[in-house]
Structure 1
Amino acid sequence: MARIEELPDDFDESINLNDQPPTVSEGPPENLTEKPPAAVDEPPFPINEEKLKELEKNDPAAPRMPPSMASVKTHSTEELWDMMNKTPLFMTDIDKAGDEQGQNILLDAIQAMQNEGTRGDVAQNFREQGNEAAKEKRWGDAKEFYSKAIAVIQAKVDKWDKPENPEEEKTLLRQVEEAAFINRALCNLELKNYRSTTLDCASALKLNPKNVKAFYRSSVALLALDKISEAEDAATRGLAIDPNNKSLQQVASKIGVRKETVERIAAKKRAEEERARKEKQLLNAALHARHIRTRKTNQPPEMEDAGIRMVPDPLSPESTVEFPTVFLYPMDAQSDFIKGFSEMTSIADHLSYIFPLPWDANNEYTLDKVECFMETVTQGLIKAGKKVPLLQVLSGGKVEVVDEMVKIYVVPVAKTGAFISEMKARKEKS
């Protein structure tokens, strides 16, 4: 009687199915006289024949390598990693897992198995894989599985099996979607993706406005972002649902401490800003009362914390005004900086302790051998009295303080003619 069988795709048509199958002696294996075939040394990777010939040529006395060893020895480390990456067990980069046409039969088979069942079954499968990864604290992998579960649920094209009970399927999908969002929020929280955490929590709350975990994880992420008011709101809403939730109570306490710190810092900053405003207002009033002209440019010099100020008390109208001042020695390309030149002191008061200058080899710079000049508003020059208070020089209306700095040119008497000529030439050129 002919045998009837379902033919596989790779069936060999040369086989005669009507032939009787060979008989096998009954009895235990030890009664068989024919020995089983020896195990085949199956190579894990294809053998590079050209490389194998090269190795045998370099060492002709060596015994021939078994196929499994030859398959490894005839490839570089990079080639072995590339071939291993095409095996799902060792796969690390899915973009390099395909062949020349970008195909990988094993990977396609595994992916097809993952998509078997209804939409709810597939989504639940990804969710469970995410849970397993999360238990092992593989947050990146867990996040990917939860993302796949969400993608399956939200996919517009339905390519899965039809459920037997649509209502149960609908309930399952909603449960899995909420769990996937709230668990992906945990992964993002552990990965310090705080904004993504808040977005996942918001998605979970749209599905279930009473999800306490969503309020907790959102409040933790918002606290990390230093969004105190939003974090406080999330914690308060969560505690309204579950007043005895220990985790929410702890994060609410941390939010309260941080809120007090932020408010204290803000209050201090406001006080400092208010003080600075009053100091500036009083200084401007003092300069106006003294008829001192000031101007600022787009490129002020770097003076660190130096500037025009009231001393000793910036908030007292009875304080005097001090100016950052630079003594310029243009004929020798040198300078000296004075951080606080009081309006009540004179040029001579400062030059008396600056002189003698260490670089003045010819002894040209002494109080009786120099003259001092300042630029006028019209870019001209006036001679500044060395012994009169600075206030008297500045309040005349002819000079102005530019970028909060007073500039005084100190020139040897013998060179004043050359200096004035240079300044005139510079003015005409500008």
Structure 2
Amino acid sequence: MGQIEELPDDFDESLDLNRRSETKTETAPAPEPASKDNAPAEELPFPVNEERLKQMEESDPKAPKMPPVMASIRSHTTEELADMMNKTPLFMTDISKAGDEKGENTFLDAIQAIQNEGTRGEVAQSYREQGNEAAQEKRWADAKEFYNKAIAVVLAKENKWDKPENADEEKKLLRQVEEASYINRALCHLELGNYRSCTLDCASILKLNPKNIKAFYRSAMACYKLDKIAEAEDAASRGLALDPENKSLQLVSGKIAERKALIEQVAAKRRAENEKSKKEKQLLDVALKARQIRTRKTEQPPDMDGGGICLTPDPLSPESTVEFPTVLLYHMDAQSDFIKGFPEMTCIEDHLDYIFPLPWDEKGEYTVKNVECFMETVTGGLIKAGKKLPLLQILGGGKVEVVDELVRIYVIPSAKTGQFISEMKTRKESQ
């Protein structure tokens, strides 16, 4: 029975394995099994903590002896393993903890030495190219970090790189790398949503090259995303002044124009509403003064869900009727009813007719004939409000005032009016 063998990578495929050799071949001697003594040493991921391993073996003498690789892991705590892994560049997460007792790490030093080989321009260019590769794969965060490094090398005050053979070529290369790294980092910021950082990079680019079209485009896009329409419009217009046929700038310019028009439309509507509200308030103030109705506002007005004194049906017509939000206070039973709009020419009895009987009035004390109505005066006293009088007649003359645009009327059973008046008098004296 044939045996399938795996061929090595360097096997010569031109050979015919099915062709029998016409000459007798020698049988290759079977390889000798590797003895325990000459077997290659197994590489351990971490050094074995012999002391802890011994403690583990003593705590459980019957447990089988662990293989070296397992012992190198099990003899350390999780924190120790994490600390040792952090010293390995592949798993490094905190460079400040990557050194030994002396703060040294030979692996990290070797990698940094390799990264810094060459002139300043060559090292910066290397980082830039790595950033370009990451950007092509849309790994924007990684690309941004490479561009950060490229810019850091260009701007570093300490020159720890090889001396260039041609100083002018080196200077030219550094200038190219700086501009390219800034403009590409601006793209990364734009894709990552770091719009303010994008505008700052674009500003740095334009200091280097005031004619960089990409800088104008990306700045316009970032400002547009931040809803800074004036700044976005300025960046787009400056870019189009340099390159009127640029499709990207034309597209973002169109978006900016649409957004600007919408904002102006909203602003115009808000101005019109504010102007209308201002006129309504002015006309209402004139109407209240003409009727001699006193009003006052406190620092903590009640929440009436946007309601208030108003002119109806047309707030802008002096011929409209004034309506008042009103609360009927059943003081003796700690109950109340709210009337959103009490027209000035209607009387209290008109409202009591449809409100009574009250669902909680089991004794039947509240009827139109068996209640009296009261209102507080400006000085804190009480007046009796006629149930058949129009509200305008009660409020006019200045004896009472409407506080926080809410009319308050106490509705008291006739049999309890003496008790009510006494309680209100006591409350006033205690204030």
TM range (shorter): 0.7 to 0.9
Q: In the TM superposition, what are the counterparts of 1:378-393 in structure 2 within 5 Å?
A: 378-393=379-394
Match of 2:304 in 1: 303
Q: In the TM superposition, what are the counterparts of 1:107-126 in structure 2 within 5 Å?
A: 107-126=108-127
- SS of residue matched to 2:342: strand
Distance 1:384 1:101 in 2: 92
Residues 45-97 of structure 1: per-residue CA shift (max 9 Å, x gap): 12233443355457656654332232233345554343222211222333443
Would the alpha carbon gap of residues 415 and 120 (structure 1) be closer, same or farther in structure 2, given more than 3 Å must change?
Answer: same
Residues 317-370 of structure 1: per-residue CA shift (max 9 Å, x gap): 111011111011111111111111111111111111111111112211111111
Match of 2:86 in 1: 85
Match of 1:5 in 2: none
Distance 1:104 1:321 in 2: 85
Structure 2: gaps spanning 5 or more residues: 1-28
Q: In the TM superposition, what are the counterparts of 1:253-292 in structure 2 within 5 Å?
A: 253-292=254-293
Structure 1: gaps spanning 5 or more residues: 1-29
Distance 2:333 2:247 in 1: 76
Q: In the TM superposition, what are the counterparts of 1:30-179 in structure 2 within 5 Å?
A: 37-53=38-54, 56=57, 64-179=65-180
TM-fit CA distance, 1:396? 1.8
Match of 2:214 in 1: 213
Q: Which stretch has the larger CA shift, 229-238 or 89-98? A: 89-98
TM-fit CA distance, 1:101? 4.6
What TM-score results when the alignment is normalised by the length of structure 1? 0.87
TM-fit CA distance, 1:157? 3.0
Residues 102-149 of structure 1: per-residue CA shift (max 9 Å, x gap): 432211221233223332222222222222222232222222221222
Residues 373-404 of structure 1: per-residue CA shift (max 9 Å, x gap): 11111111111111111111111211111111
Distance 1:176 1:127 in 2: 7
Q: In the TM superposition, what are the counterparts of 1:339-350 in structure 2 within 5 Å?
A: 339-350=340-351
Distance 1:111 1:408 in 2: 84
Q: Which amino acid aligns with 1:340?
A: G
Distance 2:260 2:208 in 1: 30
Distance 1:307 1:347 in 2: 19
Would the alpha carbon gap of residues 321 and 368 (structure 1) be closer, same or farther in structure 2, given more than 3 Å must change?
Answer: same
Match of 1:333 in 2: 334
Q: Which amino acid aligns with 2:150?
A: A
Distance 2:265 2:96 in 1: 52
TM-fit CA distance, 1:372? 0.8
- SS of residue matched to 1:160: coil
Distance 1:424 1:110 in 2: 90
Distance 2:73 2:134 in 1: 33
Would the alpha carbon gap of residues 110 and 334 (structure 1) be closer, same or farther in structure 2, given more than 3 Å must change?
Answer: same
Match of 1:357 in 2: 358
Q: Which stretch has the larger CA shift, 173-182 or 201-210? A: 173-182
What TM-score results when the alignment is normalised by the length of structure 2? 0.87
TM-fit CA distance, 1:245? 2.0
CA RMSD of aligned residues (A): 2.2
Contact 1:344 1:389 in 2 (8 A): yes
- SS of residue matched to 2:333: coil
Q: Which amino acid aligns with 1:400?
A: E
Q: Which amino acid aligns with 1:199?
A: L
Residues 147-179 of structure 1: per-residue CA shift (max 9 Å, x gap): 222222222333333333222222122111111
Distance 2:360 2:109 in 1: 84
Contact 1:322 1:340 in 2 (8 A): yes
Contact 1:163 1:169 in 2 (8 A): yes
Distance 2:201 2:183 in 1: 6
Match of 2:313 in 1: 312
Alignment: residue pair count = 398
Distance 1:403 1:103 in 2: 74
Would the alpha carbon gap of residues 347 and 103 (structure 1) be closer, same or farther in structure 2, given more than 3 Å must change?
Answer: farther
Q: In the TM superposition, what are the counterparts of 1:403-414 in structure 2 within 5 Å?
A: 403-414=404-415
TM-fit CA distance, 1:223? 0.7
Q: In the TM superposition, what are the counterparts of 1:24-35 in structure 2 within 5 Å?
A: none
TM-fit CA distance, 1:285? 1.2
TM-fit CA distance, 1:214? 0.7
Distance 2:389 2:64 in 1: 107
Q: Which amino acid aligns with 1:415?
A: K
